[in-house]
């Protein structure tokens, strides 16, 4: 499942990029379609205003001719308002074609001709009002010439705008179809990608469910194995110690008899049996201590590690004084922990530094504290690499060890210096330390250098605030 996470991330990233690109493409298509639609609307508006202008010119001619022929002033009632409407339509046309140099030039000519037409029309009406005639006079016929010229310009503008409208409408239709097809394609691609991702996720979920079921089975097997180990530990701590004690008793009895008869060889053999039995008792006691750490009736409390370290130094004061050891300590934090286990933890590590000191060199032990990220824990648990911890470092100047053996130092009954080493210890102290740190959701790691010393770092979970 974890190995497929990059695949899921890649699939989602690819689909997101594709969707973004398609969306931008669709927006551009839609923008182009909207642009051409606006141009078509603009052409329609120009054409409509040209028609209105043409109608106003015809109305003005009709009102003028009717008045000149009949002398009836009712023809002049809407004459002035029509002129106002004509001027407004010319103003609107000027604004509409302001971006078109050719049409702007035509508007200028059109306005000039219309102004001349209106001037002759006004003169014709004034003349008719003063000296009524049966037929329109010279002013009317001259004004008609300008009206025909104006109609010619309007017709020319119609032709230009009709051609522009046809081109724009064609492009609008093309992009309307393209935009529709693009949106349909986008919807299809989106549905396709969503379906693929859905099927992929369903497959991963099914795999996860199978993995979860397998994990539950393995956890049950692990629990059974753990219970069996607890039973074995109980048997070791209770059932095996009595036979060993009897071996020691009978060996001592035989040794006494051997002394009485002067059989020195037999006495030596029995002493060796007795010593081996004593070592076995110590090993069993250490093993019981380790297994007992997984079950405790003690409650956690706020533990001041400064006080615990001070008590440990008092307990080890005899060995500290004998080896003339120096312990340098920074101020340590308070942690939520099992107090008794903290004592065992610090005593085991300090005792290790005292045991594995170099001959003739007084041990120096440095206990430091800081807040640090778990970057050194990435090989143990990658998820802890960015978490913050309360880190306590315990460094000594002892015999150290080669880091290639780092995997063995926390394993039970593993001794880096061999069973016949001059250094005391049964190879269980650091295994106990690791168990204690696990009980506190923490970690312990070690680093060493032969004949230079060793450093053990304790990582306690740190919750800010």
- Each residue's pLDDT tens digit, 276-303: 777 676 666 666 666 666 666 678 889 9
Residue 368 pLDDT > 90? yes
302 and 198 together in one domain: no
Choose the final residue of a domain: 178, 202, 226: 202
Do 310 and 181 lie in a common domain?
A: no
Kindly give, in sequence order, each residue whose CB lies less than 8 Å from that of residue 29, ignoring residues fewer than 6 positions away.
175, 178, 179, 182
What integer is the mean pLDDT of 381-407? 85
Residues 58, 169, single domain; the answer is yes
* Whole-number Cα distances in Å, 358 to 321, 326, 398, 410, 417: 16, 14, 5, 21, 13
213 CA to centre of own chain:
29
pLDDT per position as a tens digit, 110-143: 889 989 888 988 888 888 777 655 566 778 888 8
Q: Is residue 351 in a domain?
A: yes
187 with 54, same domain: the answer is yes
Is 110 among the domain residues? yes
pLDDT at 424 exceeding the cut of 50: yes
Per-position DSSP letters for 120-147, written without gaps between them: HHHHHHHHHHHS--SS--HHHHHHHHHH
pLDDT at 3: 55
Residue after which a domain boundary falls, among 170, 202, 234: 202
CATH code of the domain in which 307 resides: 3.30.565.10
CA distance 410 to 429: 8
* Residue 197 shares a structural domain with residue 302: no
Q: Select the more confidently predicted residue: 241 or 452.
A: 452
Q: How does pLDDT run across 304-324, given as a tens digit for each residue?
A: 999 999 999 999 999 999 999
Read off the pLDDT band of 367 (50, 70, 90).
very high
Least reliable range by pLDDT among 40-44, 237-241, 271-275: 237-241
DSSP 306: H
**Averaged confidence pLDDT in the chain:** 80
Pair 179, 50 in one domain: yes
Per cent of the chain over pLDDT 70 is 82
- Is 305 or 463 the better-scoring residue by pLDDT? 305
Residues 186 and 303 occupy one common structural domain: no
Least confident of 15-29, 42-56, 364-378, 410-424: 410-424
CA distances to 65, 77, 80, 147, 151 from 59, rounded to whole Å, are 10, 12, 11, 11, 13
- pTM score above 0.85: no
Asked whether residue 7 is assigned to any structural domain, the reply reads yes
Listed ranges 1-15, 215-229, 377-391, 403-417; the one with the highest mean pLDDT? 377-391
- Does residue 1 surpass a pLDDT of 60? no
325 and 190 in a common domain? no
**Predicted local distance difference test score (pLDDT) of residue 396:** 93
**Do residues 344 and 450 share a domain?**
yes
Report the SS3 class of residue 358: coil
pLDDT tens track for 95-111? 988 988 988 898 899 88
3 state DSSP class of 250: helix
Please report whether residue 113 resides in a domain. Answer: yes
Domain-embedded: residue 185: yes
Task: Clarify whether residues 178 and 43 are in a common domain.
Answer: yes
- Of 176, 202, 228, which residue constitutes the final position of a domain? 202
Residues 6+ apart with CB under 8 A from 291: 229, 230, 233, 237
Tally the C-alpha atoms within 13 A of residue 105's C-alpha that lie toward its C-beta.
Answer: 4
User: Does residue 394 belong to any structural domain of this protein?
Assistant: yes
Contact (Cβ atoms closer than 8 angstroms) between residue 327 and residue 353: no
Range of the domain at 88: 2-202
- Tokens 């002033």 locate to 73
Residue 395 lies in a domain: yes
Q: Are residues 164 and 305 in the same domain?
A: no
Q: How many domains does the chain have?
A: 2
Q: Looking at the domain assignment, is residue 253 inside a domain?
A: no
What is the arithmetic mean of pLDDT over 66-91? 86
For residue range 137-166, what is the model confidence (pLDDT) as tens digits? 778 888 888 888 888 888 898 888 888 888
């Amino acid at each position: 499942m974890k190995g497929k996470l990059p695949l899921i991330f890649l699939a989602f990233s690819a689909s997101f990029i594709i969707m973004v690109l398609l969306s931008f493409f669709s927006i551009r298509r839609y923008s182009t379609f909207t642009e051409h639609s606006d141009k078509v609307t603009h052409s329609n508006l120009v054409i409509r205003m040209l028609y209105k202008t043409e109608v106003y010119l015809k109305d003005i001619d009709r009102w003028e001719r009717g008045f000149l022929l009949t002398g009836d002033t009712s023809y002049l009632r809407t004459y002035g308002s029509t002129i106002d409407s004509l001027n407004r339509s010319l103003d609107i046309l000027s604004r509409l074609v302001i971006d078109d140099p050719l049409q702007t030039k035509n508007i200028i000519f059109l306005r000039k001709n219309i102004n001349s037409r209106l001037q002759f029309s006004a003169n014709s009406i004034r003349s008719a009002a003063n000296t009524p005639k049966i037929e329109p006079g010279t002013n009317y016929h001259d004004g008609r010439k300008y009206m025909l010229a104006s109609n010619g310009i309007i017709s020319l503008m119609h032709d230009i705008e009709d051609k522009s409208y046809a081109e724009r409408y064609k492009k609008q239709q093309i992009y309307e179809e393209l935009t529709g097809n693009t949106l349909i394609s986008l919807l299809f691609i989106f549905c396709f990608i969503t379906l693929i991702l859905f099927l992929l996720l369903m497959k991963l979920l099914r795999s996860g469910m199978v993995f979860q079921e397998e994990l539950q089975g393995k956890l049950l097997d692990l629990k059974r194995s753990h219970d069996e180990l607890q039973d074995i530990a109980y048997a070791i701590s209770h059932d095996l110690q009595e036979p060993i004690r009897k071996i020691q008793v009978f060996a001592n009895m035989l040794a006494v008899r051997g002394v009485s008869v002067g059989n020195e060889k037999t006495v030596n053999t029995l002493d060796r049996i007795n010593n081996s039995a004593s070592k076995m008792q110590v090993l069993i006691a250490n093993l019981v201590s380790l297994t007992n750490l997984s079950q405790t009736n003690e409650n956690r409390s706020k533990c001041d590690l400064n006080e615990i370290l001070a008590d440990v130094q008092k307990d080890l004061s005899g060995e500290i004084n004998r080896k003339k050891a120096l312990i340098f300590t920074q101020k340590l934090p308070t942690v939520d922990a099992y107090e008794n286990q903290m004592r065992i933890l610090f005593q085991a590590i300090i005792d290790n530094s005292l045991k594995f000191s170099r001959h003739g060199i007084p041990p120096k032990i440095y206990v430091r504290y800081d807040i640090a990220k778990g970057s050194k824990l990435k090989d143990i648990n990658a998820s802890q690499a960015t978490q913050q911890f309360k880190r306590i470092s315990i460094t000594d100047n002892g015999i150290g060890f080669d880091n290639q053996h780092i995997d063995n130092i926390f394993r039970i009954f593993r001794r880096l210096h061999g069973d016949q080493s001059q250094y005391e210890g049964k190879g269980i102290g650091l295994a106990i330390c690791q168990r204690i740190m696990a009980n506190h959701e923490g970690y312990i790691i070690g680093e060493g250098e032969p004949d230079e010393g060793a450093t053990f770092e304790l990582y306690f979970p740190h919750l800010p605030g």
